Amino acid sequence: MLKLFLKIATRYLLKNKLYSFINIFGLAIGIASFVLIMLYVNYEKSYDKFEGSEYVHRVFMDYLEGGEYVPGDANAYIVSGPTLKDEFPEIESFVRFRRIRDLVVLNNNTPYDGIVGSLADPEYFDVFDHGLVRGDERTALSEPYSVVLSTSVAKKIFGDTNPIGQSLKIAGDASVTFTVTGVMDNSNRNTHIKNDLLISFKTFYTWKIFENDWKYTWNQNEYFTYIKVDNSTDVALLNQKVMAFTPEGLKNERHHLEPIEDIHLYSNKPYEAETNGNGHNIKLLSIIAFITLLLSWMNYMNLSSSKSLERAKEIGIRKVVGGKKSQLTLQFLSESALLNFMAILLALCAVLLLLPGFNAIIGQNLGLDGPQLQALLPYLGIMLLGATLAALYPAFVLSRFNPAKVLKGQVQTSKNGFHFRKALIITQFVATISLLICTFMANKQIHFLKNRPIGANLDQVIALKGQVLDRAYDSIFYKDFDVLLEELKRNPYVADVSCARTYPGDDFSNMNSNIGLTFPNGHTDETHIWYNYGARSNYFNLMGMDFVAGDAFLQTTEKRSHNVVVNEEMAHFMGVEDVNTLIGKTVKFWGQDWAVSGVVADYNHLGMKSAVVPTIIRHDRNTQNTLVKLDKKAITLAGVDKALDELERTWHQVFPVSTYNYTFLDQKFEALFNEDRKFAKAFQIFTILAILIASLGLFGLTSYTCTQRKKEIGVRKVNGATITQILQLLNQNFIKWVGLAFVIAVPIAWFAMHKWLEGFAYKTNISWWVFVLGGLVALSIALLTVSWQSYKAAVANPVDALKNE
């Protein structure tokens, strides 16, 4: 019987090629869109998921501001982990990380750079449940100057040789030898804190690189701290106790716990280990995934219903010759199963073809393999259930036709059925208009961020950075660095040079966060956070920053002076109305007095998603980043590549034994909102697909309406109705439905975009024209879709419609 049903179903689908194509194509678009989006959503949700991860939490700090605690940095103090473990028996173990970026590892004097590492406690392998592929987890990080490498770094340095027991050195202190005690495989690990290399934490207390930090306890929070609790612990209650606990030496701050599984999507604090994802974007993409899938099911129901009148006589005859309702239902379900099977195959082919392009948009390397495919299995049940429910409605409608009425030509669908299909179309256009409005708003916001002045000119500014391998950071080194700057100034491609600890768009970690500042009027603030970094005198000129009062630091041959420049936000922070009165006044921090030489106009140092923060720029002959402003005329004639080659040649001329890399500041700054740009593009693509699916659904209902009103149209034409009048008759209801959908969609889209824009410190306004544009685009799409079918009905020969009367 089943074989017969499938044979009949195949014949019917082949006979009705347009109907079959639209149905299969619509379902395939919905399924492919759903699979692509959920691959990305599952990837983002998979961060920091490992065995026992539900018991692991990060410790971060809240700061007391204005009488209330607010979330502060992602870091904690060096003693936070040990102190909390001693105080709360629920905590089984802890691990601390002290990040060391841009490590250069030396093996037989061969440098390997671009490595991100951390100091880590030996409990790392217990808290994170990350095993070693080589070495002993119990002892790998237990002794000073022990190092654990990732498999990729071990392969890079030692090739196929067993690295255990091998010796390494780290640039900056080549007097110390490290021993490789383990190799960890983190190649397939999604985590918010990535490490290519781990150094035993005991190394910290004797390693000269950190000798200035040995004495700090509650004075320097540069440590990522994670705790693992007993599996019977009430974490909410523990968190309350942790926040209420005030250890001696900690003022105006408190510890706070957050689940490690939530960090990637829902934490966006200063000094995060990596750039995290966006939970709001993931939620919106998940909604789009289910909307596109739902729209495709609605289409199937609409298109199947629209064909019901054409199949009425077939059903009537089959019932007269003994066909049972259950058999007819199974017949139509077998057609649906065959159609869905073909749609799924087409969708999977589309996913495989589109995946490389989709990966390019989102910046990932997703695939239909192993864990990623396994993560989709729970959604397979949803897709099968939805497809079954979508197939049941038309199957029951078709099998219920009365054979006597059908064979007399008296069959008509019920008003309930018509209203149901109308509701489906309205729902489709509510979704379509909402997505259109959200797409226009997302693009408007990205355009706003891209074109908003940041208060600095990053065009043609390059940051040079490298690790000098053959000397320490002593007075001779600084003199050689001055030689480098002088050589760069003589370069014909260079307009200006300077140095700074950081620059707009750089990592948050290169700024110092502080609490405690004495204002010029003598008032001391001990509760609010402010930031500072060091730079040379001509830093402001090179960066194109404007002064609203005073000027930059005075030129000096000293390594540093006690002059500072503050931004306008810092002036407001200190309660100063006339910034000119600040010039020459003294502020006090770090136990020293600092003279204010200038007030610079506010600029966005941390990207456009963050507000301007109160900042002090100290005079310091810092050498961390060499900033070079290229001469536009020179590089226009010779080309950027030639200029870059000359910069590298000059660098290696002064520091022949060193690493070298460069970064264009404007590109790095724009990269800070790359995630939002990718999200807007993905949103746009899937909105277009949703529109296509909705258009197919509207095509189906138009076809159904024209079929149902075929005789009415014939009678009207015989009585003198024009084509324009027929088109108006057939289209007016659809226009009303789109209008109703618009009214429903406006508040939905406004709420969604209002919530999304909350994640930006600087946001565009939600303009009225965005809603109007979304409605007009949807109406245009509807009219184009409807008019094609309506026109065919309007120009048809009325004799064909009336000849059966």
pLDDT at 395: 61
- Sign of the torsion angle spanned by Cα atoms 280, 285, 286, 288: positive
| CB burial string 615-645: b at 16+ within 10 A, e below | bbbbbbbbbbbbbbbbbeebbeeeeeeebbe
Between 163 and 758, whose confidence is greater?
Answer: 163
If 0-12 CB within 10 Å is exposed, 13-18 middle and 19+ buried, where does residue 722 land? Answer: exposed
- CA 721 from chain centre, in angstroms, equals 56
Between 114 and 748, whose confidence is greater?
Answer: 748
Count CB neighbours of 676 within 10 A: 20
Please give the sequence-ordered ranges of beta strands (E in DSSP) within 188-321, or none if there are none. 197-200, 224-229, 253-259
652 pLDDT exceeds 70? yes
CA distance 328 to 164: 71
Planar angle of CA 231, 232, 233, nearest 5 degrees: 95
Residue of 433, 436, 446 whose CA lies nearest to 764: 446
Between 408 and 145, whose confidence is greater?
Answer: 145
pLDDT at 772: 92
- Specify the DSSP element, H or E, that contains 134: strand 132-135
pLDDT at 14: 64
Residue of 284, 277, 460, 304 whose CA lies nearest to 387: 304
CA distance 628 to 335: 68
Least confident of 61-75, 185-199, 372-386, 785-799: 785-799
**Angstrom distances, CA of residue 747 to CA of 12, 429, 777:** 43, 14, 18
Amino acid identity for residue 326 in this structure: S
- Specify the DSSP element, H or E, that contains 135: strand 132-135
If 0-12 CB within 10 Å is exposed, 13-18 middle and 19+ buried, where does residue 330 land? Answer: middle
248 pLDDT exceeds 70? yes
CA distance 179 to 298: 64
Joined tokens for residue 504: 């707009």
Between 705 and 461, whose confidence is greater?
Answer: 461
Between 456 and 221, whose confidence is greater?
Answer: 456
* pLDDT tens profile 778-787: 888 888 877 7
Contact 2, 317 (CB under 8 A): no
CA distance 496 to 537: 12
Contact 506, 467 (CB under 8 A): no
Joined tokens for residue 300: 């199937």
CA distance 385 to 379: 10
Amino acid identity for residue 528 in this structure: H
* pLDDT tens profile 56-84: 999 999 988 777 888 888 999 999 999 99
Between 614 and 512, whose confidence is greater?
Answer: 614
Count CB neighbours of 614 within 10 A: 22
Q: What is the pTM of this model?
A: 0.84
3-class DSSP assignment, residue 455: coil
3-class DSSP assignment, residue 422: helix
Please give the sequence-ordered ranges of beta strands (E in DSSP) within 537-659, or none if there are none. 547-550, 560-567, 586-589, 592-600, 615-620, 625-630
Q: How many residues does the chain have?
A: 805
Number of H helices, E strands in the chain: 24, 22
Count CB neighbours of 558 within 10 A: 8
CA distance 681 to 688: 11
- State the pLDDT confidence band at 180, using cuts at 50, 70 and 90: very high
Contact 510, 549 (CB under 8 A): no
Q: Which residues pair with 587 in a beta bridge?
A: 594
* pLDDT tens profile 611-643: 899 999 999 887 789 999 999 888 887 788 899
CA distance 239 to 228: 13
**Angstrom distances, CA of residue 204 to CA of 120, 217, 611:** 10, 13, 35
**Angstrom distances, CA of residue 709 to CA of 185, 373, 716, 786:** 68, 47, 11, 14
Amino acid identity for residue 12 in this structure: Y
Q: What is the mean pLDDT of the chain?
A: 83
CA distance 332 to 13: 11
Residue of 290, 303, 254, 188 whose CA lies nearest to 690: 290
Crossing angle for the helix pair 723-757 and 710-718, to the nearest 10 degrees: 130
Joined tokens for residue 467: 């690790």
CA distance 774 to 767: 12
* pLDDT tens profile 341-354: 888 888 889 988 98
* pLDDT tens profile 555-611: 665 666 789 999 999 999 999 989 999 999 999 998 899 999 999 999 998 887 788
Look up residue 554 and give its DSSP letter.
Answer: P
What share of the chain in percent tops pLDDT 70? 83
3-class DSSP assignment, residue 776: helix
Contact 145, 176 (CB under 8 A): yes
Amino acid identity for residue 626 in this structure: T
- The residue-averaged pLDDT of 770-777 equals 90
CA distance 130 to 95: 13
Please give the sequence-ordered ranges of beta strands (E in DSSP) within 363-465, or none if there are none. 461-465
Look up residue 76 and give its DSSP letter.
Answer: B
Amino acid identity for residue 222 in this structure: E
Joined tokens for residue 505: 């768009």
Least confident of 10-19, 215-224, 256-265: 10-19
- Specify the DSSP element, H or E, that contains 92: strand 91-107
CA distance 97 to 271: 13
- Sign of the torsion angle spanned by Cα atoms 135, 137, 141, 143: negative
Residue found under tokens 């009027």: 521
* pLDDT tens profile 98-143: 998 778 888 888 888 888 899 999 999 999 877 789 999 989 999 9
* pLDDT tens profile 308-340: 556 656 666 665 655 666 666 676 677 777 777
Per-residue three-class SS string for 153-202: HHHHHHCCCCCCCCEEEECCCCCCCEEEEEEECCCCCCCCCCCCEEEEHH
707 pLDDT exceeds 70? no
Least confident of 28-32, 409-413, 573-577: 409-413
